[in-house]
Structure 1
Amino acid sequence: MGALGEGASPLKNVAFLFAGQGSQRPGMGRALGEKSAAARAVFDAADAVRPGTSTQCFDGTKEELALTENTQPCVLAVDLACAAALAERGVAPAAVAGHSLGELGALAFAGAFDVEAVMRLAVERARLMSACCDAHPGAMRAVLKLAPERVEELASQAGEAWAVNYNSPLQTVVAGSPEACECLDALVRDAGGRSVRVAVSGAFHSPYMADAAAGLAAHLARHAPASPRTQCWANLTGRPYPADPAQVAQTLASQVKSPVRWVDELRGMRAAGIDTFVEVGPGHTLTGLVRRTLDGVRALSVEDPDQLEAAVAAIAEG
């Protein structure tokens, strides 16, 4: 199918945020696919690359969708379907960003990949990350109520553990060995914070993912991205992606083994004039992170037809 982000003039104050792994749920995307031709076209394109993707989204069990090799392409398909439905209604963002896996959807919407190419990339990314999880068993914890600098200190004390997702001012995710994460739980408790187990299969965005980064770099050398047409913010740097396709590929490949600087991205977009953030994809995790990070902004979620109509109306009101 054609490029997703083409059409209406961008709204200078609107950004789309693409949901990441962990937001999946059974039935995701079904209602929107039934109502929106643009969403249905995305699912059809996803199925052409990876047969059965839409069926997994609509009918897959919680356990089936929790497997990384299913989660990543399925969440990506729903993210892109939601964004396409908004574009179909004439809503075009000035900027896009995605959390971890969601960055693939953001780049595709920005024009760096078409749907078929980004689906193939997601399948390869999931395969490579699953292999790293098997080779280097790991775990992740969301640490709440502590400043990121304090979390970094505690992760260092815990052993082989690293702060990897800077999600909001008082939520930082740590990844590392299972033993280090168990140690971190006690350290966080003693420091007055809260440590929550993250339901993932490995230590994502940590050095444990180095082989996945190398594999993605090789894949992107064979299937190079285009220059993004819409400003797309990068997890790796907390700043917009460069225009040079080779640098786009390098940045995206490095993302899987490096921290997600989500707070920097949100603050950067706000400083650039964005005051309306629309989460596209299953769940509302990113909407919550926006509200906990920024004041004086609107945070909307779009996953189903009712949310789509509400978001379109809210954006039209200004």
Structure 2
Amino acid sequence: MGKTAWVYPGQGAQYPGMGADLYKHLRSAKATFEEMESLRPGTMKQCFEGSAQELAQTKNTQPCLHVVSLAAAKSLEHYGFAPDVTAGFSLGEYAALTSAQTLGTKESFRLVEKRGELMQEAGEASPTSMLAVVGLPVEEENFLTEFSEEVYVVNYNCPGQVVVAGEKGELRRLSRALREKGVRSVPLKVSGAFHSPIMQKASDIFSSILSRFTLRKPTLPVYANATAQPYEEDSLETLKKQMTSPVYWQKTIENMIADGVDTFVECGAGKTLSGMIQRISPNVNIFHVEDVESLHHTLRGLSRGA
């Protein structure tokens, strides 16, 4: 068996009731939720009882998704498992950095809370959003970059799927143009043009907050969204770029596989990343942990060496 990577989802994976089953049945998950609840009262209620609309607000989405990811990882750790390498998609990168002890649990939660607030403010300052583009051939991706100066390619998810961000009116116009080409597009459940230059003001403010923190040397490789490579000595500078840099997820997974990873465990809400990884490489083992049933399935798979 090769290396195992734990990966953590980003915004858009949220759903009402996420994490409730882990909280109810696992002490390690319960302790994680209660610790974060002490920092941000109301987080558990939003996770377990919040509406889809409430959870879609970035200031709520990010801390709620983060605590669910941490609880899922703690549930695996409780049974003696640990990753060899790790990565997270956008917001999920903070859970990955926590997993590698670059950030403490409380530190990462506080940062994620502030990150969500700033990104929501940036989204509310201008009518922007994001659009998944499905089925556009790689050789035609320049159609997206040339379509409008107000549209940016921000996520390279997997073969046949990228995400663009920009002004809502331009995204609607792009969607119509893609439909005429026979290409499907899907609006994302987000409230801003994340990972684009539109986030620059929020990024500048957040960078000043990040500068007050000391990022410890990772205890295991953490692959960065902005480079698709493991963090190096300039961890802080790499993380500062994250909010306005594209997420190179496909390249991240390809690099992990090239470095010996053959098993992936998605820790947190949903199976979005699992689906992407399957499209990137159908030959790897993929598990996920979001509730007790998926946890037990993953434990059985990891115990028998996948």
Tell me which interval the TM-score lies in, with the shorter structure as reference length: over 0.9
**AA partner of residue 18 (structure 1):** Y
Q: Which moved more, 1:33-42 or 1:230-239?
A: 33-42
Q: Provide the residue aligned with 1:143 in structure 2.
A: 133
TM-score when scaled to structure 2?
A: 0.96
Q: Does 1:295 align with 2:285?
A: no
**TM-superposed deviation, 1:144:** 0.5
Q: Provide the residue aligned with 2:300 in structure 1.
A: 313
- Which of 230, 234, 241 is the aligned partner of 2:224? 234
SS in 1 for 2:192: coil
- Which of 22, 36, 41 is the aligned partner of 2:12? 22
User: Conserved in 2, the CA contact under 8 Å of 1:158 and 1:187?
Assistant: no
**TM-superposed deviation, 1:211:** 1.2
User: Conserved in 2, the CA contact under 8 Å of 1:12 and 1:93?
Assistant: no
User: Conserved in 2, the CA contact under 8 Å of 1:164 and 1:258?
Assistant: yes
SS in 2 for 1:175: strand
- Give the gaps of 5 or more residues in structure 1: 1-10
Q: Provide the residue aligned with 1:13 in structure 2.
A: 3
**AA partner of residue 77 (structure 2):** A
**TM-superposed deviation, 1:121:** 0.1
- Which of 142, 148, 160 is the aligned partner of 1:158? 148
**TM-superposed deviation, 1:153:** 2.5
Q: Distance in 2 between matches of 1:173 and 1:148?
A: 13
Q: Residues 63-93 of structure 1: CA distance to partner in whole angstroms, max 9, x if unpaired?
A: 1111110000000000000001001111111
**AA partner of residue 44 (structure 2):** S
Q: Does 1:125 align with 2:131?
A: no
Q: Distance in 1 between matches of 2:102 and 2:138?
A: 32
How do 1:59-98 and structure 2 match up within 5 A? Answer: 59-98=49-88
User: Conserved in 2, the CA contact under 8 Å of 1:232 and 1:241?
Assistant: yes
Q: Distance in 1 between matches of 2:226 and 2:139?
A: 18
Q: Provide the residue aligned with 2:248 in structure 1.
A: 261
Q: Does 1:116 align with 2:106?
A: yes
**AA partner of residue 136 (structure 2):** L
User: Conserved in 2, the CA contact under 8 Å of 1:155 and 1:174?
Assistant: no
**TM-superposed deviation, 1:147:** 2.9
User: Conserved in 2, the CA contact under 8 Å of 1:148 and 1:172?
Assistant: no
SS in 2 for 1:113: coil
**TM-superposed deviation, 1:12:** 5.0
How do 1:32-47 and structure 2 match up within 5 A? Answer: 32-47=22-37
Q: Distance in 1 between matches of 2:164 and 2:103?
A: 30
- Which of 183, 194, 203 is the aligned partner of 2:184? 194
Q: Distance in 1 between matches of 2:262 and 2:15?
A: 28
TM-score when scaled to structure 1?
A: 0.93
Q: Residues 35-85 of structure 1: CA distance to partner in whole angstroms, max 9, x if unpaired?
A: 222111211221121112112111111111111100000000000000010
**AA partner of residue 298 (structure 1):** N
Q: Provide the residue aligned with 1:304 in structure 2.
A: 291
Q: Provide the residue aligned with 1:170 in structure 2.
A: 160
Q: Distance in 2 between matches of 1:174 and 1:84?
A: 33
Q: Distance in 1 between matches of 2:273 and 2:142?
A: 22
Q: Distance in 2 between matches of 1:58 and 1:151?
A: 39
User: Conserved in 2, the CA contact under 8 Å of 1:148 and 1:166?
Assistant: no
**TM-superposed deviation, 1:190:** 2.8
Q: Matched residues, percent identical?
A: 40
Q: Provide the residue aligned with 2:202 in structure 1.
A: 212
Q: Distance in 2 between matches of 1:90 and 1:193?
A: 45
Q: Residues 235-283 of structure 1: CA distance to partner in whole angstroms, max 9, x if unpaired?
A: 00011111x2xx2122112111110000010000011111111101011
**TM-superposed deviation, 1:148:** 4.0
User: Conserved in 2, the CA contact under 8 Å of 1:279 and 1:300?
Assistant: yes
User: Conserved in 1, the CA contact under 8 Å of 2:3 and 2:263?
Assistant: yes
